[in-house]
């Protein structure tokens, strides 16, 4: 906890960090939540590649990715701005730039406004207006709707899952002419949507006491037994397997179909197994296993989906 008294020694490291240019740069990088942003970029690129007929335009891929980088960075920064008081109360977030006083609230707000403006402009000018508008709507959903909802209702996870999956739709719109969202991209949207629930339930269980202290209405705070979070994990893991098989309707060879079935059933089955274990006995160990399975599932499934859609198969 940072003392409110500027004369105390506990605040001095933060004051030094604010005045040090290198520390300020690092603080701005922290605002972007770069690991999450990179994941968003990967889903955008994969969807763009799947939607394109043949090799996607390198121009569109470059500028689309750059615009997506700015939009996602802005969303993450503004998420920190809105949640700065909650972050101060939770050990896992107390060292973020705002609660740790590395940056001022006005500086973070300016950074968020500048990056959403730049990102949207890049998408509108270099890709197409549909992708730009979708990116702006995604930002509004994440920053203005999902983030405040976390203090009001456990239903925030459903809204956040839509926001988390929308970059896939942006990828589809970016590389199609006229801009459309092909079935395979809608399927990937569904996969990403349902994948997030067991993933977030595991996180919500691990940090349930901190979320409660921060005033966030996560499902594991509303129901501290973890039973509702466990049931939601199982149901969404089942739906994930179903949705992951949707691209089968567009497979043109047995090799493509077999690859997709194996990936969907094996990866989804292991994810479901971990969800069932978490539901049967919600504890730190089962939550950790569920988290580990979630981090393995998404990149492996997307890799299989790309290989299954290669024209030479």
Name every residue whose Cβ is closer than 8 Å to that of residue 33 and which is 6 or more positions away in sequence: 76, 79, 80
pLDDT bucket at 310, cuts 50 / 70 / 90: confident
Between CA 91 and CA 103, with CA 97 as vertex, the angle to 5 degrees is 145
pLDDT at position 18 = 52
CA dihedral sign of residues 83, 71, 112, 29: positive
Which of 94-103, 200-209, 274-283, 304-313 is predicted with the least confidence, judged by mean pLDDT?
304-313
pLDDT at 56 over 90: no
pLDDT at position 10 = 38
The C-alpha atoms of residue 96 and residue 84 are separated, in whole angstroms, by 9
Instruction: Note the maximum CA span of the chain.
Output: 71
Which of 200, 187, 192 minimizes the C-alpha distance to 156? 200
> What are the start-end ranges of the E strands in 9-128?
none
Q: What is the DSSP letter of 174?
A: H
pLDDT bucket at 191, cuts 50 / 70 / 90: very high
pLDDT at position 253 = 87
Mean pLDDT of 124-144: 98
Q: Residues of the chain with pLDDT > 90: what percent?
A: 87
Tokens standing for residue 83: 């949640």
pLDDT bucket at 2, cuts 50 / 70 / 90: very low
**Other C-beta atoms within 10 Å of 13: how many?**
14
pLDDT at position 78 = 98
pLDDT at position 180 = 95
Give how far Cα 96 sits from Cα of 30, 80, 103, 214, 217, Å.
7, 8, 9, 14, 21
Tokens standing for residue 188: 């990937």
- Asked if 112 and 74 touch (Cβ cutoff 8 Å), the reply is yes
Mean pLDDT of 12-38: 77
pLDDT at 7 over 90: no
pLDDT bucket at 19, cuts 50 / 70 / 90: low
Q: Which residue has the higher pLDDT, 167 or 18?
A: 167
pLDDT bucket at 64, cuts 50 / 70 / 90: very high
pLDDT at 86 over 80: yes
Element (H, E) at 69: helix 58-82
For residue range 205-250, what is the model confidence (pLDDT) as tens digits? 999 999 999 999 999 999 999 999 999 999 999 999 999 999 999 8
What domains sit in the chain, N to C, each tagged with a CATH number?
A: 6-181 (1.10.357.140), 182-313 (1.20.120)
Average pLDDT, the chain: 92
pLDDT at position 250 = 87
pLDDT at position 311 = 54
pLDDT at 94 over 60: yes
Print the SS3 string covering 217-280: CCHHHHCCCCHHHHHHHHHHHHHHHHHHCHHHHHCCCHHHHHHHHHHHHHHHHHHHHHHHHHHH
- Asked if 201 and 278 touch (Cβ cutoff 8 Å), the reply is yes
For residue range 270-285, what is the model confidence (pLDDT) as tens digits? 999 999 999 999 999 9
Which of 154, 229, 242, 168 minimizes the C-alpha distance to 198? 229
The C-alpha atoms of residue 127 and residue 226 are separated, in whole angstroms, by 44
pLDDT at 14 over 50: no
- Asked if 158 and 135 touch (Cβ cutoff 8 Å), the reply is no
pLDDT at 9 over 90: no
pLDDT at position 13 = 38
**Other C-beta atoms within 10 Å of 89: how many?**
17
């Amino acid at each position: 906890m940072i003392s409110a008294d500027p004369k105390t020694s506990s605040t001095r490291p933060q004051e030094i960090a604010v005045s040090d240019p290198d520390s300020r740069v690092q603080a701005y990088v922290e605002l972007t939540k770069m690991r999450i942003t990179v994941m968003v970029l990967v889903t955008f690129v994969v969807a763009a590649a799947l939607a394109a007929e043949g090799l996607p335009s390198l121009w569109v891929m470059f500028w689309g990715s750059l615009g997506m980088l700015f939009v996602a960075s802005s969303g993450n920064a503004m998420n920190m701005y809105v949640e700065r008081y909650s972050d101060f109360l939770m050990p896992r977030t107390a060292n973020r730039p705002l609660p740790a006083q590395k940056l001022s609230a006005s500086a973070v707000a300016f950074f968020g406004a500048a990056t959403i403006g730049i990102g949207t402009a890049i998408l509108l000018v270099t890709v197409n207006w549909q992708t730009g508008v979708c990116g702006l709507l995604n930002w509004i959903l994440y920053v203005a709707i999902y983030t405040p909802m976390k203090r009001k209702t456990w239903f925030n996870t459903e809204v956040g899952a839509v926001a988390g999956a929308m970059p896939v739709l942006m990828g589809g719109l970016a590389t199609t002419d006229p801009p459309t969202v092909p079935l395979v991209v809608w399927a990937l949207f569904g996969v990403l949507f349902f994948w997030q629930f067991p993933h977030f339930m595991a996180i919500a269980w691990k940090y349930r006491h901190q979320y409660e202290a921060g005033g966030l209405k996560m499902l594991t705070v509303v129901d501290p037994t973890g039973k509702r979070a466990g049931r939601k994990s199982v149901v969404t893991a089942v739906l994930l397997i179903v949705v992951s098989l949707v691209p089968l309707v567009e497979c043109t060879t047995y090799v493509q179909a077999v690859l997709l079935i194996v990936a969907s059933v094996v990866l989804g089955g292991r994810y479901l197994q971990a969800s069932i274990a978490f539901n049967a006995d919600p504890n730190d160990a089962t939550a950790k296993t569920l988290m580990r399975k979630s981090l393995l599932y998404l990149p492996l499934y997307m890799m299989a989906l790309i290989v299954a859609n290669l024209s030479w198969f």
